[in-house]
Structure 1
Amino acid sequence: MGELLCSFNEGNKQMRSLLGDKGANLSEMTGIGLPVPFGFVVTTKACNDFFDGGNVLSSQIIEEMEAKIREIEEVTGKKFGSGENPLLVSVRTSNVINIPAMAGSILNLGLNDETFKGLTKMGDMEFALDCYTRFLRTYGSIVRNIPQKSFISAYEEIKKKAEEVGENQYSEEAVLFDAIKEYKSIILKRTGRAFPENPFEQLKEAVSAILNRWNSYAVRSYRELHEIPKETGTAVVVQAMAFGNIDEKSCTGMVFTREPNTGEKVTCGRFMMKSQGGDDYFRDMKAVKIEKLEDFFPELNEKFLRMAQLLENYYKNMQEIEFTVERGKLYLLEAKAAGRTPSASVKIAVDMVDEGIVDRATSVANMRAEDVNKLVLSQFANGDEVDEETLENFNKILEWADDFRSVGIRANIDTPEDALMALNLGAEGVGLCRSEHMFFDEKRIYDFIRMIIADDEYERSKALSSMKPYQKEDFKRIFEIMEDRPVTIRLLDPSFHRFLPHTEADIKKLARKLRIPEKKLAAKILLMKEENPAMGKRGSRLAVLHPEIVMMQTEAIVEAAIEVSENTDSELNISIMVPFISSVREFMNVKDTIQKAVDSCLGSDRKKMEFAVGTMIETPRAALLSDMIAEQADFFSFGTNDLTELVYGISKEDTDNMIEEYVRKDILDKNPLYSLDKRGVGRMIEMSVMLGRKTKPKIKMGICGEHAADPDTIEFCQSIGINYFSCSTLRIPGARLAAAQAEIKSRGEK
């Protein structure tokens, strides 16, 4: 086989990136001896060559297509373009990644006025006419981009006129004859080019049209939204037709090996007698439940059910199977992992282990993190009731995932309530407690603002004294909930500027609340204004300029820890994190302040309680100096949100539209603010990890940005030695699953 075209008997399921899902599955099914109509795949490599060549099929692709058609002729005993026993083919999209806008099938390609005569000899006149009209419709809509409604309207008008003549004189054959003429006329009028009578010209046009869809506006938009690289490409399957519409012993249908809504182990689906795809609209036919297959095909039913079970066992996943019966002979046209609801997904995953079809690793690997996240959202965010069996299956899958997972999953929290929810969802600790968020409650925010606008150290100390009890009480509750699990508390990070009002009405309202003159408050806000707060007086810079804030926060942490320790046997595991540093001396300045506060609180008992002090690596300079910072820091936590913005020199708030345009113009593969940029930001993190561990081999390192729940980010960061991921509370179960899947994949590759 070559890289451009591949016959079904040359491919296999491992070649998915080259053959697409459909092509790889059909090749695999052919290889294990299942009844698959023979064919070949125009590969994703050919797709990229097609675009590199100016959206034109190269002479090499055309020559190989001719050879592959001859191969199908040899296998089937039919002849492409012949008036005697003609070979007809279907041309279908075969995506590597499912893209709805790419879906499309052209059926009965190869028909023209000459091959039509041969088709009438294979079946009857109505069968041949039905195939011809179907081909013209699918060719017209997919190859010539003519809306389906044009053909539907034409058919309805022809049928209406025929029915007006009278029931006794109505002829379906006459309607279809007229439809063929009208469809050809529509193709000519709408595109300025006549329908091609040459079958190989039809094939070249069909393959080119499907490849061109990869670069259509709809598909480009979908690729950009889902961050699918252009180079992924699409493949095209060309396959000998099996005719489910040839006689009364023929049908087409679709079957699921399990119930997709509930996950029950029952074969379900539908089929239509004497039909091809789309017959539910163009012909007065009703789909029949698959349970009735035995009534129509008693000799096939048991064989078909055995094949369905074989495919599920072979692929180790629930299957969706498309089939055709032609004159009593069964053909399988496609088998793929079936869609299912989130509740069905967890049930199937557990049941297939219990049935001995898969092991736990395969079951976990087959799950989708998005299904897990949807169940969490249903229960906690939307308040929907989730039945007991689904909850049991959900918890069992995550327990299995935890057995495979080698990295920690922690939570980003703001309040004790978040901590409790995180624990219930399986968090192993708190990777990021955003201490400033504890003041966002309306009862607390005004003390916080008084601290911000204080005129002198006395006023600020007074405000801090009011704030400290809030912090201490919240820390106590968090420590009590988390017991001996790790809790990392980030010191105050955002710029003061972000907490102050900026409109005249809001300033006036705040002045009344604080009982200070409006002009004084407005002047204070103006003095504190920052043009770029994200890179202004924030994080460690605030801590250096206002060490009294660090003292208050550290005292609240230590005093809370002492009080909780006196009432529990658990050994608390508390870390204090300095945000947004860019130098070793900056970190040491804040660390010294922290240590003074710790020593002051513990006094002579300080040896009884240890507090780790680490930092967030959020600036490129901190990443570059990681070896020196590691000499002083107990741990690193990579704040990927800020690090990404600073590496790219962009602001999330100001550049969303620009980034979308960059993705659209193929300057960026995907939005780096949502899925980690491995080549740039990822390389910087990898370098930082190596530098830090060169100095301190056992230093703990985590990820605590929004990327921490993204499966691709987890897989990459796990491979470079990250110890834990800390994400928003509701995404914890999905992160647990993704981390397990990354580990399972890593073991498989090794």
Structure 2
Amino acid sequence: MQHDPVLPPGATLITPTAPIRIAAHGARAKCLQRLIRLGLPVPRTVALDAATVAMLAEGGTIDTRAVLAAFGPDTLVSIRPSSGQHEWGGPASVLNAGMNDARHAVLSGRIGADKALRLHARFIRSYAMVVAGVDCGGADDIPAMLAAFEAAHGRPFPQDPAVQLADVLRGMAAAWNAPTARLLRAARGAPDDAALGLVVQQMVLGVGDPALGEDGAGVIQFVDGETGRPRIVGRYLSQSQGRDALQGQGALYLTSDPRGPALQDVYPQVFMDLQHYGTLCRTRLREEMQIEFTLQDGALYVLDAVGVQRSTRAALRIAVTLATDGIIPEAEAVSRVQPRALLNVLHRRIRPGAGGAEIGRGIAASPGAATGALVLTAADAHAAGARGEACILVRSETVPEDVLGMHAAAGILTVRGGVSSHAAVIARGLGLPCVVGAAGLSLDAGQGLMVASDGRVLHSGQTVTLDGHGGRVIAGAVPLVEPMLDDAFATLLSWADEVRDIGVRANCDTPSEAQTAARFGAEGIGLCRTEHMFFEPDRLAVMREMIFAEDPQDRARALARLLPVQRADFTELFAIMAGRPVCIRLLDPPLHEFLPSDADGIAAMAAALHIAPDAARRRAAALAEANPMLGMRGVRLGIAIPEIYDMQARAIFEAAAAQGDVVPEVMIPLVSARREVDLVAARIAAVARSVRDEMGVPLEYRLGVMVETPRAALRADEIAEAASFLSFGTNDLTQMTYGLSRDDAGRFLSSYVAQGVFADDPFLRLDMDGVGELLRIGAERGRRARPDVTLSICGEHGGDPDSIDFSRAAGFDYVSCSPFRVPVARLAAAHLAIRDRGGSLTAPPER
């Protein structure tokens, strides 16, 4: 019978009552204690705490003879890392420590010379790599391996098990602090000060004499790591150690399988015991675990258990199933799925491990993956869509007149631009994968070719794959994983809605986007950008006719032709939203954005309008602006040419009156002064009265302002007196606060972030200090002047979890984001509410 040993400071024998803590000893050590508490047959294990490991990394020592004494004489041990979270990884495990010439001889007599040789060689190989970075080769030639070690390291391979253990502990501790290891675990989410514990465990060899019983090792889990559905997965390999079964030939399947023998058939009692252990782990540890096990002389041992590696789709289903089965609360199920990870469920992605030659790289601006034919013009994309062919639209940068082609494309790639560029914003709204700022590419639309970063030339029509998750462009087609929004997805988000305390709407410009938003649970439309409704060819022709009108009467005739199509758009939006609020932004962009920019386009437009090409060029030139973002756009356009807003207001009100159960929200863009609101509001009120009288029905509406200029935020108290809601457009507000163009800043923002000028790209992550201060000032002053004013964020930041956190703290009523980010925002809001109510967002409590 073994007695509790006298261990050196920092070393603790893991027992059910030992003071093992994740913060001090790591997740593996704590999990092993939990397994021991559950009565699983875990080999004797000693845990070294993080302080001891840190001391070893600095060249300190520990009494390894006392550690080995805990296992009895001549016992081999394994050494494994125990970081704060399994996902952070750690140095490679070392098996069979304590192996030397004498122990080799004893084992040769007991299990056979070949097996003893294999165990000895395995230890030498891993020891040499961990301690000295020496590769002793793949052949199990012990003398040659020892000679190679001594030649490379300058000293003989140690025979003393205590020295071996000391060397391995120091080597693993040092490896944790290596620069590459730091970078790798940072990429996995570990903090800079993440610490490492180590566990020393009695070896269960898994290799032995068949006459004494079965020997081998394997792994087993009880759910599919890709889908999260119940399924026994794993392998078992006779006469093996560790995870050899996952690579070794001759491994057994676990369940009965026509492809070969199975553990269930050959060793049914072992299989039944593993199933029992899996159930215990699931119900008591409240997690789906992968169990690493070993058989020695027919006896079953559990060496370790870790949470099953899982896709986001599987993580979602596992969390929901655990809650449905009463194992965890619903709020904890919500907390276990990370909001940003939902993007992996909502969009296609490249199958893990898929190959393909990367030919370009840029900024991942909209998630998803798509394969299609390369096209270099919006017209070609539109034509491909009409033929039902998938295409990837590649442009230097997109402009509003490209919108039709963007709608038809399967993915969008631009050479210039950042995460808030025109291409990025439209792609996110459409749910298309988008990569921007791929500066290594060059285009020649006239010749129909693209030159890749490696010099390869691709012609229009060749197949490429776009990776919107990783910002990659890949030659040819690669396997994709389709999204799957199943019952578990809907259940989890319904639980999230029960706890979140801020509204979530969607930015939708078209009926198809509104349908997507409704499917994803948006509580309404927070921003409908009406300019995107005018780029259909027939509408664009009338829009250009209106722009070229010489007098108000001609302009009115053109607008009268646009009225019914606008009314039809709004009618469909109202119907899709089924009584939920719809906020419609009146026309915002400068008029030149509706005109072609190239000579051929101007000539075609002149012919369609029956005017001379020179006259068309002069008119287009007259409308061009040196700085369009700060020119005649937004409310300025509505005041200068009020007939446009009159037409849009009439279309909104006629559609709402016909629908009957709608209170539309009319939003005035780019306001800077209260007087602008008053002027537009008066005309809109007049249109509303006219529609009421003509249709003979009651009509209500809400008038609000899109706060996009610093002055509007600072004068929000004055503006709120004339507006029932203030919707902060953080895209333009960020541009104006920083003095940056979101379309051009991508050229240098990565350098700024790398050098610490900005903590993050302010178009990707809301600037809490500068832009955030303007938001807080605007919210406080607006509420002070009008306590019932509705406050919201409707820029691209609206779907970012950090921005939602800010919005809740600042007292905003809702956020609005692109349709495909609505589930992310719903889940993020729930996480924040659970956090503020004291709920846990991390691992289950220690028990």
Larger deviation, residues 645-654 vs 306-315: 645-654
* Matched-pair contact (CA < 8 Å) for 1:40–1:237: yes
User: Quick one: distance in 1 between partners of 2:595 and 2:27?
Assistant: 54
- 1:54 corresponds in structure 2 to none
User: 1:646: how far off?
Assistant: 3.6
| Residue identity matched to 2:118 | D
Correspondences of 1:684-699 after superposition (within 5 Å): 684-699=774-789
- 2:118 corresponds in structure 1 to 130
- Three-state SS of the structure 2 residue aligned to 1:650 is coil
Among candidates 231, 247, 251, match of residue 208 of structure 2: 247
* Matched-pair contact (CA < 8 Å) for 1:418–1:729: yes
Among candidates 180, 190, 207, match of residue 145 of structure 2: 180
Structure 1 residues 289 and 359, CA, compared in 2 at 3 Å: closer, same or farther?
same
Structure 1 residues 518 and 113, CA, compared in 2 at 3 Å: closer, same or farther?
farther
| Residue identity matched to 1:358 | I
Correspondences of 1:218-229 after superposition (within 5 Å): 222=187
User: Quick one: distance in 1 between partners of 2:302 and 2:757?
Assistant: 45
- 2:587 corresponds in structure 1 to 492
Correspondences of 1:597-676 after superposition (within 5 Å): 597-602=687-692, 608-665=698-755, 670-676=760-766
User: 1:281: how far off?
Assistant: 8.8
- Three-state SS of the structure 2 residue aligned to 1:417 is helix
User: Quick one: distance in 2 between partners of 1:548 and 1:97?
Assistant: 63
- 2:440 corresponds in structure 1 to none
* Matched-pair contact (CA < 8 Å) for 1:96–1:234: no
User: Quick one: distance in 1 between partners of 2:802 and 2:300?
Assistant: 44
* Matched-pair contact (CA < 8 Å) for 1:40–1:238: yes
User: 1:321: how far off?
Assistant: 3.0
Structure 1 residues 77 and 685, CA, compared in 2 at 3 Å: closer, same or farther?
farther
Structure 1 residues 278 and 391, CA, compared in 2 at 3 Å: closer, same or farther?
closer
* Matched-pair contact (CA < 8 Å) for 2:226–2:310: no
* Matched-pair contact (CA < 8 Å) for 2:217–2:238: yes
Among candidates 260, 270, 291, match of residue 225 of structure 2: 260
User: Quick one: distance in 1 between partners of 2:54 and 2:483?
Assistant: 55
Among candidates 281, 296, 305, match of residue 311 of structure 1: 281
User: Quick one: distance in 1 between partners of 2:33 and 2:774?
Assistant: 41
* Matched-pair contact (CA < 8 Å) for 1:12–1:31: no
- Three-state SS of the structure 1 residue aligned to 2:705 is strand
Of structures 1 and 2, the one scoring higher in RCO (CA 8 A, sep 6+) is: 1
Matched, 1:90 2:80: yes
- 1:724 corresponds in structure 2 to 814
Among candidates 173, 176, 182, match of residue 207 of structure 1: 173
User: 1:325: how far off?
Assistant: 4.5
Structure 1 residues 279 and 332, CA, compared in 2 at 3 Å: closer, same or farther?
closer
| Residue identity matched to 1:204 | R
User: 1:669: how far off?
Assistant: 5.1
User: 1:718: how far off?
Assistant: 3.2
- Three-state SS of the structure 1 residue aligned to 2:328 is coil
| Residue identity matched to 1:273 | S
- 1:81 corresponds in structure 2 to none
* Matched-pair contact (CA < 8 Å) for 1:29–1:36: no
| Residue identity matched to 2:493 | L
Matched, 1:38 2:45: yes
Structure 1 residues 216 and 742, CA, compared in 2 at 3 Å: closer, same or farther?
closer
Matched, 1:478 2:549: no
User: Quick one: distance in 2 between partners of 1:295 and 1:670?
Assistant: 56
User: Quick one: distance in 2 between partners of 1:578 and 1:637?
Assistant: 10
User: 1:636: how far off?
Assistant: 2.1
- 2:251 corresponds in structure 1 to 286
Q: Which runs of 5+ in 2 are unaligned?
A: 1-8, 257-261, 349-367, 369-429, 433-479, 841-847
* Matched-pair contact (CA < 8 Å) for 2:347–2:482: no
User: 1:663: how far off?
Assistant: 4.4
| Residue identity matched to 2:322 | M
User: 1:583: how far off?
Assistant: 3.6
| Residue identity matched to 2:638 | A
Structure 1 residues 695 and 59, CA, compared in 2 at 3 Å: closer, same or farther?
same
Larger deviation, residues 555-564 vs 344-353: 344-353
User: 1:490: how far off?
Assistant: 0.8
- Three-state SS of the structure 2 residue aligned to 1:431 is strand
* Matched-pair contact (CA < 8 Å) for 1:408–1:723: yes
Correspondences of 1:454-469 after superposition (within 5 Å): 454-469=549-564
User: Quick one: distance in 1 between partners of 2:155 and 2:562?
Assistant: 80
Correspondences of 1:51-70 after superposition (within 5 Å): 62=58, 66-67=61-62
User: 1:650: how far off?
Assistant: 3.1
User: Quick one: distance in 2 between partners of 1:245 and 1:523?
Assistant: 85
Structure 1 residues 76 and 699, CA, compared in 2 at 3 Å: closer, same or farther?
farther
- 1:330 corresponds in structure 2 to 301
User: 1:488: how far off?
Assistant: 0.5
User: Quick one: distance in 2 between partners of 1:428 and 1:310?
Assistant: 41
User: Quick one: distance in 2 between partners of 1:22 and 1:648?
Assistant: 47
- 2:825 corresponds in structure 1 to 735
User: 1:339: how far off?
Assistant: 0.8
User: Quick one: distance in 1 between partners of 2:278 and 2:305?
Assistant: 11
- 1:545 corresponds in structure 2 to 640
- 2:198 corresponds in structure 1 to 238
Structure 1 residues 282 and 323, CA, compared in 2 at 3 Å: closer, same or farther?
closer
Structure 1 residues 637 and 521, CA, compared in 2 at 3 Å: closer, same or farther?
same
* Matched-pair contact (CA < 8 Å) for 1:408–1:724: yes
How many pairs are equivalent? 683
- 2:332 corresponds in structure 1 to 362
- 2:438 corresponds in structure 1 to none
- 1:170 corresponds in structure 2 to none
| Residue identity matched to 1:730 | F
- Percent of matched pairs sharing the same residue: 29
- 1:169 corresponds in structure 2 to none
| Residue identity matched to 1:624 | L
| Residue identity matched to 1:539 | G
- 1:518 corresponds in structure 2 to 613
Render the CA deviation track for 1:638-659: whole Å, top value 9, x for unaligned: 3233333444443332233533
User: Quick one: distance in 1 between partners of 2:204 and 2:195?
Assistant: 24
User: Quick one: distance in 2 between partners of 1:24 and 1:657?
Assistant: 47
User: Which protein is richer in helix relative to its size?
Assistant: 1
- 2:291 corresponds in structure 1 to 321
Matched, 1:107 2:94: yes
User: 1:471: how far off?
Assistant: 1.2
User: Quick one: distance in 2 between partners of 1:540 and 1:5?
Assistant: 69
- 1:710 corresponds in structure 2 to 800
Structure 1 residues 686 and 324, CA, compared in 2 at 3 Å: closer, same or farther?
farther
Structure 1 residues 742 and 39, CA, compared in 2 at 3 Å: closer, same or farther?
farther
Structure 1 residues 259 and 420, CA, compared in 2 at 3 Å: closer, same or farther?
closer
User: Quick one: distance in 1 between partners of 2:274 and 2:200?
Assistant: 21
- 1:164 corresponds in structure 2 to none
* Matched-pair contact (CA < 8 Å) for 2:219–2:234: yes
Structure 1 residues 473 and 373, CA, compared in 2 at 3 Å: closer, same or farther?
same
- Three-state SS of the structure 1 residue aligned to 2:643 is helix
| Residue identity matched to 1:108 | L
RMSD, aligned α-carbons:
4.4
